[in-house]
Amino acid sequence: MKRTGLTAVDLVPLGERMRMISAFRAAAVVVILISWLAVPSTRGVSFQVTAIAGMGYLAATLLVEAIWRRSDAPARFLFGVIAMSDSLFLAWASYGSAGLDTPLRYLVLLQLITVSLLASFRTGLKLAMFNSWLLLCAVYATETGAVDALGGEKVVFGDDAYLRVAVEVIIYFLVTVVTTSFAAINERELRRRRYDLEELARFALGLEQAESPADVAETLLEGVSEIYGCEPSVVVRLEKDGILHSLASRGLLRRVPGEDMEADLKSARFTLQDEAPVIAKAMQDDQTMLVRGAGTQGDKILAEFAPDANVAILPLRGPHGGVVGVMVAEHPARRGSRIERRVLTMMERFASHGSLALENARLLEEVRALSITDPLTGLANRRHLDAVLDRACAQVAKGHGTLSVMMIDIDHFKKLNDTHGHQAGDDVLKLVAKTLERDLRAGDLAARYGGEEFTIVMPGATGPAVEQAAERLRDAITRLPHPIPVTISVGVAWAPVHGIDRETITKAADHALYAAKTGGRNRVALAVVPDLVAARRA
């Protein structure tokens, strides 16, 4: 690309400005020629001289621009030189040849407006000063008799004509200042809108990388915080049971119920009507709500914001209608003022994009859960169990901790199915699964191994601790309030004693389960080393 003294981004707009200046120049020449034919007061020189000067000037400027495009001359410098040349030509074609009363002098004002709009405030002021200097030079040159300017009109310091010149100079600067001021306002607004759209596009890209609803909520809050300074903020989602669940929060600290410590609002839950009545109204009305003095509203979520804060509650709408949650954000507007409509509109756009992303993330989460969940019991399925066991065994093989595995079988399950039917059998499976899941430690995994068999993976547990846990599970199953008596047999093995890979430790636990069943059922059996040897031989 040709070097012009500008960056590649600035080159195209400057070229467009040059073309518009050329169009104005051509239009000015046409107006000058038509005015000579139609308005006698514009005939300072003959039509032939006017036409030759106009066409010659157009040809000269086109030639200069063509040479510039093939050279490395700075573009801004050329823009300024051509603008000054236009001023010289217009000064000659108007008051320089036809006098101060010619209407052609308004072309100078049009040139100032054009350059001020296309260039900058500084360029407009420089050009206004240059045009003023040209006009005053013509006046003084005529007054001293050095040249025959202003169409032969004699201007004397202090007379009415001279005062008109002074007023015209003031108008030059006034037109320039007013034009550039309004242009700056429009340009600033356009830049704001461009910035908003760029940030919205960047936010959409961030949403594509967010996989879980919590990630989407964090991305949403991060976006409005970085762009509009809404640091105190929270996203809550309405669950199916009518409870508001906090997905993410920024800049908010609260007391977690039941804990004597400060923690983030994230993962807190609130009943919609009783604990969040203001948010409930915003969701019911399905429209953005602005709240001030949030701490006195009786809303536990809004109470986390400053009492004099400007808080916006923006509904998050689902793809099929209805409000699925809200984003609550505090805008740092000064006390007594309101949030700008532009800012609120952009926040609503962010919330709209975030709503769709939240729903997509929720659906993705459900699909993933279905892919690793047994549909009948709700426990992990065999595929997920194998993946978890492989990872856990790999850690044990590296010398990082221990691992225990329980193999569980419901006693006489085939007889139960044959006697009471498969529906009763399914009910027993679900009841046992629920009991197993309820008694797990944090970090343990319960899975349906197949049929009436279940597996529990317990990282970090071995020996007596696992045996005691198995006995508690067995006892809990025997005490189930079910019309059909249910018992289980449990086989327990642990790594690295009984193996350090999934196949070996599973076989060891399975052999222990076989020992428990052959030993009379409704009992717990521990794997021993001979069981492991037999498993390997098998």
Q: Compute the CA torsion angle 527, 528, 529, 530 (nearest 10 deg).
A: -100
Q: Do 252 and 163 fall into the same domain?
A: no
What pLDDT score was predicted for residue 343?
80
Where helices occur in 287-378 by DSSP H, the ranges are 341-371
Average pLDDT over residues 107-135: 86
Distance CA 416, CA 422 (A): 8
Distance CA 2, CA 426 (A): 77
Is residue 22 predicted with pLDDT exceeding 60? yes
* Domain boundary pick from 336, 370, 404: 370
Q: Do 61 and 184 fall into the same domain?
A: yes
Q: Give whichever of 11-15, 223-227, 401-405 has the largest mean pLDDT.
A: 401-405
Distance CA 401, CA 418 (A): 44
Of the listed ranges 37-51, 281-295, 393-407, the one predicted with least confidence: 281-295
- Pick the closest to residue 446 from 476, 488, 499, 407 (CA basis): 407
State what percent of residues in the chain have pLDDT above 90: 19
Q: Report if residue 375 sits inside a domain.
A: no
What pLDDT score was predicted for residue 267?
54
What pLDDT score was predicted for residue 508?
93
Q: Do 221 and 153 fall into the same domain?
A: no
The whole-chain average pLDDT of the chain stands at: 81
Average pLDDT over residues 41-66: 87
pLDDT band at 426 (very low <50, low <70, confident <90, very high): very high
Q: Report if residue 377 sits inside a domain.
A: no
What pLDDT score was predicted for residue 297?
62
- Within 10 angstroms of residue 442's Cβ, the number of other Cβ atoms is 4
The H or E element spanning position 493 is strand 488-495
Q: Are 90 and 50 in contact (CB under 8 A)?
A: no
Centroid of chain to Cα 265: 21
Q: Do 144 and 51 fall into the same domain?
A: yes
Based on the structure, what is the number of domains in the chain?
3
What pLDDT score was predicted for residue 406?
94
Token pair of 291, please? 């709240």
- Within 10 angstroms of residue 471's Cβ, the number of other Cβ atoms is 13
Average pLDDT over residues 194-206: 80
Q: Do 389 and 498 fall into the same domain?
A: yes
Q: Do 12 and 66 fall into the same domain?
A: yes
Instruction: Give the three-class secondary structure for 495.
Output: strand
What pLDDT score was predicted for residue 145?
66
Q: Report if residue 204 sits inside a domain.
A: no
Q: Report if residue 50 sits inside a domain.
A: yes
DSSP assignment letter at 72: -
pLDDT tens digits along 483-523: 889 999 999 999 888 888 999 999 999 999 999 999 999 99
pLDDT tens digits along 377-391: 989 999 889 999 999
* Paired residues of 262 in beta bridges: 255
Q: Are 488 and 474 in contact (CB under 8 A)?
A: yes
What pLDDT score was predicted for residue 411?
93
* Domain boundary pick from 370, 396, 411: 370
Between 396 and 200, the higher pLDDT residue: 396
pLDDT tens digits along 151-173: 666 666 666 777 888 888 898 88
What pLDDT score was predicted for residue 446?
93
Average pLDDT over residues 211-227: 83
What pLDDT score was predicted for residue 158?
63
Between 271 and 94, the higher pLDDT residue: 94
Centroid of chain to Cα 81: 45
CATH number at residue 258: 3.30.450.40
Q: Report if residue 3 sits inside a domain.
A: no
Distance CA 484, CA 507 (A): 30
Q: Do 154 and 22 fall into the same domain?
A: yes
What pLDDT score was predicted for residue 15?
67
Q: Do 184 and 117 fall into the same domain?
A: yes
DSSP assignment letter at 333: P
What pLDDT score was predicted for residue 537?
47
Distances, alpha carbon 14 to alpha carbons 22, 177, 193, 206, in Å: 12, 21, 21, 33
pTM comes to 0.55
Is residue 86 predicted with pLDDT exceeding 50? yes
Q: Do 53 and 137 fall into the same domain?
A: yes
Q: Report if residue 308 sits inside a domain.
A: yes
Q: Do 224 and 366 fall into the same domain?
A: yes
Average pLDDT over residues 108-124: 84
Distance CA 403, CA 309 (A): 52
Domain range for residue 341? 215-370
Of the listed ranges 11-25, 75-89, 198-212, 235-249, the one predicted with least confidence: 11-25
Distance CA 229, CA 332 (A): 7
Q: Do 265 and 165 fall into the same domain?
A: no
- Within 10 angstroms of residue 323's Cβ, the number of other Cβ atoms is 18
Alpha-carbon dihedral sign for residues 415, 418, 424, 427? positive
Average pLDDT over residues 221-247: 80
pLDDT tens digits along 4-19: 433 333 433 566 777 8
Average pLDDT over residues 443-453: 91
CATH number at residue 403: 3.30.70.270
Is residue 263 predicted with pLDDT exceeding 50? no
Buried b (16+ CB within 10 A) or exposed e, 338-363: ebeeebbebbbebbebbbbbbbbbbe
Burial class (CB in 10 A: 0-12, 13-18, 19+), 1: exposed
Instruction: Give the three-class secondary structure for 103.
Output: helix
Contacts of 439 (CB under 8 A, 6+ apart): 469, 472, 473, 476
Dump the DSSP string for 435-473: HHHHTPPTT-EEEEEETTEEEEEEET--HHHHHHHHHHH
Q: If you count DSSP H runs as helices and E runs as strands, how many of each does the chain have, helices first? A: 17, 13
What pLDDT score was predicted for residue 264?
47
Average pLDDT over residues 426-451: 89
* Domain boundary pick from 338, 370, 402: 370
Q: Are 320 and 343 in contact (CB under 8 A)?
A: no
Distance CA 295, CA 297 (A): 6
* Paired residues of 454 in beta bridges: 408, 448
DSSP assignment letter at 402: -
- Pick the closest to residue 286 from 325, 230, 228 (CA basis): 325
What pLDDT score was predicted for residue 30?
92
Crossing angle of helices 422-438 and 413-420, rounded to 10°? 140
- Pick the closest to residue 231 from 294, 310, 308, 286 (CA basis): 310
What pLDDT score was predicted for residue 146?
64
Q: Report if residue 495 sits inside a domain.
A: yes
Q: Report if residue 197 sits inside a domain.
A: no
Distance CA 265, CA 68 (A): 63
Q: Do 343 and 398 fall into the same domain?
A: no
